[in-house]
Amino acid sequence: MTGKFSLGPVDVEVPPEEQFARFLQGKGKRFTPQRRLVVEMVFSHHDHFDAEELLEHLSELIAQRRVSRPTVYRTLSELVEAGMLRSMNLGGRSVYEHAYGYPRHDHLYCQRCGRLFEFHSERLDQLREAVAREHEFQVTGHRLMITGVCRHCRDEE
């Protein structure tokens, strides 16, 4: 729990638990201890996380029998639905990252070590719009993944 919260009228950041609770309420759903656990776990580290990290943490929870695997999956879907997580697909498994309180970004994927690096590009937004206009497409989002080898891995050779 490292979130920064201010009480000013402008920069109030709603903590994830609260945000999620509201979302659930709006759907007539409950904010149960299990869902709370998953949200806390997921938003306890502020870096973006990949499948391995996530599953590691989650399996701890599962091992402790504090939440079951199906509930974890269900809650992750709800978090995506709530717009608090974004999911992508890497090698057949789902990878999640915070979509909440984080700037939009895309990824560099190192095929050697599997690490993900973030970047943001204004030009990409422009490009996206240009392409959409040309194809009369109503854009809702995009996903760009640049694959290659990171500096770290190249140094190791």
Partner DNA sequence: CTACTTGCAAATCATTTGCAGATGA
Partner DNA sequence: TCATCTGCAAATGATTTGCAAGTAG
Residues paired with 89 in a beta bridge: 94
Neighbouring C-beta atoms of residue 23, cutoff 10 Å: 17
Q: Which is nearer to DNA, 8 or 91 (CB)?
A: 91
59 vs 111 by CB, closer to its own copies: 111
Binding of DNA at residue 153 (CB under 7 A)?
no
- Taking alpha carbons only, the member of 12, 14, 119, 17 closest to residue 75 is 17
Distance (Å) of CA 146 to CA 83, 106, 138, 143: 24, 8, 24, 10
Site string for DNA, 98-137 (x = CB under 7 A): ----------------------------------------
Footprint of DNA (CB under 7 A): 24, 28-35, 65-71, 73-75, 77, 92-94
